[in-house]
């Protein structure tokens, strides 16, 4: 898996500044270093959805999610993929070491890791999408705890439903942070048939759309606003 340079730059707050040779070289080194340290793991299952008001329930699990935004995200879906993905501990450990010894490298490697987990999730999603298409389904974008009103308190229950610790070593702290740090949990809706209205098409359009609906208007990583334009 390649770590897209463009995304690394975006996470570093790059806005077309002059990229001096040393910094460019550092970024290349870090991309290679991050790639070598990836211990990717993913676990997912497909669940039927039940709805109760603004709650989404996955009857085969103990999950019951109170979230208008998730309900909206999954409103055309009758099933969803529940997914947990991680880059593993090795990268975390290296970033932590650099945070003590070489801060510049820590920051760049951290950005590489952030770009990598997104790229990894995109890769998994593409495979799932192809599989779903064969069965006449299409996928929504990923929706994760922490987006909109979907609380990160649900992380623990999500990991337990997927047995994410024993399968891929993914854990959550008492304060609901995922560890290893570069990890993602997400819901992906499975919708029957083709896309309908232009509005709906836009909604499955990836990060762009997520950013548009996010309340944080000043986020430096915001896409489609003042931030760097990227392909979704």
Residues near other proteins (CB under 8 A) are 12-15, 17-18, 20, 22-23, 26-27, 39, 44-47, 60-63, 81, 88-90, 92-93, 95-97, 99-104, 106-108, 110, 146, 152-153, 157, 160-163, 165-167, 169, 171, 173-177, 179-181, 218
> Per the structure block, which two tokens stand in for 123?
């890769």
What sign results for the dihedral spanned by CA atoms 180, 181, 183, 187? positive
Give the residue with the Cβ less far from other proteins, 148 or 203.
148
Give the residue with the Cβ less far from other proteins, 173 or 196.
173
Minimum Å distance from CB 39 to other proteins? Answer: 7
Give the residue with the Cβ less far from other proteins, 24 or 202.
24
Neighbours of 52 (CB within 10 A): 10
Nearest one of 84, 42, 40, 35 to 63, comparing CA atoms:
84
Q: Cβ neighbours of residue 8 under 8 Å, at least 6 residues apart?
A: 27, 30, 31, 108, 111, 112, 115
Minimum Å distance from CB 229 to other proteins? Answer: 16
Give the residue with the Cβ less far from other proteins, 197 or 218.
218
Minimum Å distance from CB 194 to other proteins? Answer: 22
Give the residue with the Cβ less far from other proteins, 130 or 202.
130
Cα dihedral: 175, 180, 183, 187 (round 10): -50
Minimum Å distance from CB 180 to other proteins? Answer: 7
Minimum Å distance from CB 206 to other proteins? Answer: 21
Print burial letters for 56-66: b (CB count within 10 Å at least 16), e (below 16).
bbbeeeebebb
Unique residue bearing structure tokens 């920051």: 107
């Amino acid at each position: 898996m390649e770590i897209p340079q463009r995304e690394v730059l975006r996470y570093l707050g790059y806005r077309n500044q002059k990229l001096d040779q040393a910094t460019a070289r550092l970024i290349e080194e870090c991309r290679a270093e991050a790639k070598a340290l990836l211990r990717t793991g993913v676990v997912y299952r497909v669940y039927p959805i039940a709805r109760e008001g603004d709650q989404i329930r996955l009857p085969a699990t103990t999950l019951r999610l109170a979230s208008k935004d998730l309900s909206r995200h999954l409103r055309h879906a009758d099933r969803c993929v529940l997914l947990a993905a991680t880059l593993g501990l090795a990268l975390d450990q290296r970033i932590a070491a650099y945070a003590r010894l070489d801060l510049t490298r820590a920051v760049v490697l951290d950005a590489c890791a952030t770009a990598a987990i997104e790229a990894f999730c995109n890769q998994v999603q593409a495979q799932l999408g192809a599989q779903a298409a064969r069965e006449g389904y299409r996928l929504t974008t990923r929706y994760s705890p922490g987006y909109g009103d979907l609380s990160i308190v649900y992380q623990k229950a999500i990991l337990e439903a997927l047995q994410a610790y024993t399968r891929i070593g993914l854990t959550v702290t008492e304060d609901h942070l995922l560890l290893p740090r570069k990890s993602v949990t997400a819901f992906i809706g499975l919708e029957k048939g083709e896309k309908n209205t232009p509005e709906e098409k836009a909604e499955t359009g990836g990060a762009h759309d997520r950013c548009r609906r996010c309340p944080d208007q000043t986020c430096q990583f915001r896409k489609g606003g003042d931030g760097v334009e990227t392909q979704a």
